[in-house]
Structure 1
Amino acid sequence: MINSLTEVRFENGGVFQMEITDLEVGKKVHWRVRLSPHDWEGSTITWALTPISNGTRLLFGQHDLFVGSTGYSVVETCSGWEYFLPSLKSYLETGKGIPYVY
């Protein structure tokens, strides 16, 4: 539901809280980051799904990133997504993801 909050927690204690700012069930969701241990506050994460002939295309983006007080950089953010997105793909296609080990 638009304006509701969703929260993701990690084993190392990291908590991310996002507000849903746009939603079309089965098509797209946009999150505005409200709480993050990595200076993501204020950034927007977008997920858009499009049917294609052999499945579904996922278009992902994270916008309005900056280096804040923790020093967590855009490069580190990209490296994180480069790990988690293939894990998500594996999970969706095979039922088995690649858990991150802290």
Structure 2
Amino acid sequence: MPNIVHRIGIRAPISTVYAAVSTIEGIAGWWTRDTSGESRLGGSIQVHFRTPSREEIGKMGFELSKLDVNKEVHWHFTSGPEEWLGTDVTFSLSQEGDCTLILFGHRNWREEVEFMAHCSMKWATFLLSLKLQAEAGKGKPAPDDMKIDNWN
């Protein structure tokens, strides 16, 4: 099964980065402002993507399937685009000096499709938003995210 993978270094404490990918407030600060749910193992989280005028352009739901404090976070997608159903997003965290490293994966796609290429590029922009949030205190979550093509 094909996977999307990225690696990024963030000059922030590992606990800050962990909170950003494992809590409602954290996710809302870098991925999409419209995030709700439960920040606990097995908790369900819903995210909505909207235009600046609040028109919905996408929504997903996932379960927090693994929370290993300051080491690993896994999301398992239960709703959203058909291509995402049953996929997993993984954040593997490590610390090297003052840099927290994330090995990111969006795993278990059924097949490589054009939408996967779009998602790979969007994940890269959102990981840069995560970097901004952790280092400077303010990310660029949707609807203020970088637009990369005609799908968003």
Same-fold call, TM > 0.5? yes
1:18 maps to 62
Tell me the distance in 1 between the aligned counterparts of 2:82 and 2:135.
29
SS across alignment from 1:10: strand
Change (3 A) 1:75 1:83: same
Q: Does 1:97 align with 2:139?
A: yes
1:2 maps to 41
1:74 paired residue among 111, 116, 132: 116
TM-score, normalised with respect to structure 2? 0.57
Q: Does 1:55 align with 2:102?
A: no
Q: Does 1:44 align with 2:83?
A: no
Give the structure with the larger helix fraction.
Answer: 2
2:76 maps to 32
Tell me the distance in 1 between the aligned counterparts of 2:89 and 2:64.
10
Kindly, what percent of the aligned residue pairs are identical? 29
What CA deviation, in whole Å up to 9, does each residue of 1:16-57 have, x standing for no partner? 111121111222111110011362011010012112112211
TM-score, normalised with respect to structure 1? 0.81
RMSD of the alignment, in Å?
2.0
Larger RCO (CA within 8 A; separation ≥ 6):
2
Equivalent position amino acid for 1:42 in 2: G
8 Å contact kept, 1:39–1:72: no
2:130 paired residue among 68, 88, 91: 88
Tell me the distance in 1 between the aligned counterparts of 2:89 and 2:47.
13
* Runs of 4+ with deviation above 6 angstroms: none
Q: What are the ranges of 5 or more consecutive residues in structure 1 without an aligned counterpart?
A: none
SS across alignment from 1:66: coil
